[in-house]
Structure 1
Amino acid sequence: MPVPHPPEFRRRAVELARTGDKSVSALAKSLGISQSCLSNWIRQAAVDEGRQGGLTTAEKKEMVELRLPVSECSARSPSRNSIEPHRPPADPSHPSWPWNGESQSASTSQ
């Protein structure tokens, strides 16, 4: 993953894009970033300023911070997919052994 640009660089890029002197594509090219990158910054700035709906930068940061303890917990406990399925007991004398009781007489009478 590339190193993120400093916040001041992002802020200035958004300001320049909003002046409208250059197209977003031309401005992005002159700044050495992709058009989609600059468009994302413009959209996020609008969200942060309350002009557009969505998660603000602060809300996204909070979600990441809240997610960290959960990931630490899930790393320590087995996932649901890694839990062994139910297996019959290995002890043939156990009452739930598959060949005890009726199932044994049914299988031998055929």
Structure 2
Amino acid sequence: MPKAFPEEFRRDVIAVARKGEAPLRQIAKDFGISEGCLHRWLKIADRDDGITPADGSPTSSESVELREARKRIKMLEQEAEVMRRAVGYLSRDVNPK
């Protein structure tokens, strides 16, 4: 796996690309990265800066929060299921038919 570029380098490349003074292909070539990489960085930066695309994709921080919320919901659902089973088991012994 290739080594990740430093965050400061990414910010510099994104800033130059957003100025729009040169084509993205030339900017990518000047900085020694692929054009696809530059497009991906710009897409991520747009989401993180609140310039979300029309599809409504969440930002990186929202993605982390959403992932944690889903984990918490799953755990709570499992706890509720255990409680339902425990109540059913205990109530069976209290009121025998």
TM-score by length of 2: 0.58
Compute the RMSD of aligned alpha carbons.
Answer: 2.2
1:2 maps to which residue?
A: 2
Residues 6/30 of structure 1: CA separation in 2 closer, same or farther (3 Å cut): same
- Cα distance in structure 1, aligned partners of 2:64 and 2:3: 17
Following superposition, the deviation at residue 2 of structure 1 comes to: 0.5
Quick one: higher RCO (CA 8 Å, sep 6+), 1 or 2? Answer: 2
State, as a whole percentage, how many aligned pairs show the same letter: 38
- Aligned position for 1:55: 58
In the TM superposition, residue 60 of structure 1 has moved relative to its aligned partner by 5.0
* Residue number in structure 2 paired with 1:39: 39
Q: Distance between the aligned counterparts of 2:61 and 2:9, measured in 1? A: 18
For residue 14 of structure 2, what is the aligned residue in structure 1? 14
Normalization by structure 1: what TM-score? 0.52
Structure 2 CA distance for partners of 1:9 and 1:60, relative to 1, 3 Å? farther
Matched to 2:41, the amino acid is W
Shift of 1:21: 1.1
**Larger % of helix: which?**
2
Q: How much has 1:55 moved relative to structure 2?
A: 3.5
Matched to 1:32, the amino acid is G
**Separation in 2 of the partners of 1:61 and 1:5?**
22
**Number of paired residues?**
66
Distance 1:40 1:59 in 2: 18
- Structure 1 runs of 4+ off > 6 angstroms? none
Could you say which structure has the larger radius of gyration? 1
Alignment of 1:65-80 (within 5 A): none
